[in-house]
Structure 1
Amino acid sequence: MIVISNPTEITNEINIINSLFEEGMELFHIRKPNYSIEELRSFLSAINSSYYSKLVLHQHHELAEEFQIKRVHFTEKERLTKPVKLSKPDRYKFLSTSVHSIKDFNILSNAFDYAFLSPIYPSISKQNYVPTKNAFEEIKKRTNHHTKLIALGGISVENIEEVLHNNFDDYALLGAIWNTKNPIENFKKCQTIAQSF
C-alpha cells in the first residue's frame, strides 16, 4: 500500500506522516506541485530521517541526493516530454510513473518499477475526475509484467478488496487518507484489509 501526500498543506501534516510510518506505511509519495525547492527542502527536513528510504519525490528531483532519497516519480507529461533513459541513473534505485490507460502501461520502459493507473473509481480528492473506461476490463489487456501496476483514484476501505481481486499488484491512497477526519485510523483500516490478502 502506497500513500500519496495531499498536494497542498494539511494541518499537522508532518506529525501525521511520521505516525503513518510508525503504523507501517511502506512508501510515501511526496507530491507538492506548487512547492518551491526551498519549501520542499523544509518539508523533507521535518520528516523523521529514518524514513527517507521510503520517500518518493515527485518534484525537485535534485533534492534526492541531498536527502539520500533513492526513489523518484515521473508524471506522464514528464515521461513523454523528457524520456527516461532505459537504464536507471546511478543516483536512483527506483523509478515510478503515472499512466491513464493499459495501452500506455504496456509500452513502458523496463526502467520503471511500478506505475499508477488512474482513475479506477471517481476520485475522492479531485472533483469530476472519473474513469472513462472500466479498469477491471482494461487490465485484462495487460502485457507488461515487469512493471508493477498500482491502482489509484477513489480507492477506499469500501473497494480495496475489489481492486486486489482484479489483478492489480497494489494500490495507492490519497483522498482516503487526507479527506478524512482521522487519517491514521483510516490508514489502519485499509492496511488491515490489505494484510488479509
Structure 2
Amino acid sequence: MIVISNPMEIVNETNIINALFEEGMELFHIRKPNYSIEELRSFLSAINSSYYSKLVLHQHHVLAEKFQIKRLHFTEKDRLAKPNRFLKPVRFLSTSVHSITDFNGLPNIFDYSFLSPIYSSISKENYVPTKNAFEEIKKRTNQHTKLIALGGVSVENIKNTLSNGFDNIAILGTIWNSKNPIENFKKCQKIVHSF
C-alpha cells in the first residue's frame, strides 16, 4: 500500500508521516507541486532519515542525491515532455496514467504506475472516473509494470479493488481527509495485508 502526501500543507504533517512509518508504511510519495526547492528541502529534513529509502519524490528530483532518495515519480506530463530524464537503473521509477492504453504503452523502465481515478476522488472535487476501471484493466497487456489503483480508494473498497486485477493501491484522501489519519491507515493496512 502506498500513501501520497496531501499537495497542501497539513498541520503536524511530518510528525504524522513519521508515525505512519512507525506503523509500517512501506512507501510514501511526496507530492508538493507548489513547494519551492527550499520548502521541500525543509520538509524532507523533518522526516526521520531512516525512512528516506521509502520516500518517492514527485518534484525537485535534484534533492534525491542529497537525501539519498532512490525513488522518483514522473507525472504523465513530465514523462511525455522529458523522456530522457529517467535515470534507471540507478533509481526506482514510477509514473501516472489515466487510461489502460497509456499503461500498456509504458516503457519497461517503470516499476509501477498509478491509474486514476478508479472511484470518485475523496480529495479532488468533481474528479470522477469516465470508464469502469475494472472493465478497462481486462485489456491489460503490460505485465512488467505494476498497476496501482488511485482515486477514491478507501477502507470500504480496498478488498474489491485488489480482488479485481490491481497489483496494489495508493491512498491520499482516505488518510489526509480523515480526523484520525493513523487509525485510518491501520484499517487500510490490515485489509491489504489480508491479501
Q: What TM-score do you get using the length of structure 2 for normalisation? A: 0.98
Could you say which residue in structure 1 is the equivalent of 2:176? 178
Unaligned runs of 5+ in 2: none
Are 1:67 and 2:61 an aligned pair? no
**1:66: how far off?**
0.4
One-letter identity of the residue aligned with 2:49: S
Could you say which residue in structure 2 is the equivalent of 1:4? 4
Query: Aligned pairs, how many?
Result: 195
Could you say which residue in structure 1 is the equivalent of 2:93? 95
Rounded Cα–Cα distance in structure 1 between residues aligned with 2:189 and 2:87:
33
Rounded Cα–Cα distance in structure 1 between residues aligned with 2:51 and 2:3:
14
**1:12-161 aligned within 5 A:** 12-84=12-84, 88=88, 90=90, 92=91, 94-161=92-159
RMSD: 1.0
Unaligned runs of 5+ in 1: none
**1:167: how far off?**
1.0
Query: Share of identical aligned residues, percent?
Result: 81
Q: Is the Cα–Cα contact under 8 Å of residues 121 and 131 in structure 1 kept in the other structure?
A: yes
Deviation by residue 1:113-168 (Cα, 9 ceiling, x = unmatched): 00000000000000000000000000000000000000000000000001000110
Rounded Cα–Cα distance in structure 2 between residues aligned with 1:122 and 1:17:
25
Q: What TM-score do you get using the length of structure 1 for normalisation? A: 0.97
Deviation by residue 1:11-65 (Cα, 9 ceiling, x = unmatched): 1101100000000000000000000000000000000000000000000000000
Give every structure 1 segment of 4 or more consecutive aligned residues whose post-TM-superposition deviation is greater than 4 Å.
Answer: 84-87
Rounded Cα–Cα distance in structure 2 between residues aligned with 1:105 and 1:83:
15
One-letter identity of the residue aligned with 1:74: F
Rounded Cα–Cα distance in structure 2 between residues aligned with 1:135 and 1:89:
30
Rounded Cα–Cα distance in structure 2 between residues aligned with 1:48 and 1:84:
32
Q: Is the Cα–Cα contact under 8 Å of residues 86 and 93 in structure 2 kept in the other structure?
A: no
Rounded Cα–Cα distance in structure 1 between residues aligned with 2:24 and 2:84:
31
One-letter identity of the residue aligned with 2:58: H
**1:87: how far off?**
6.6
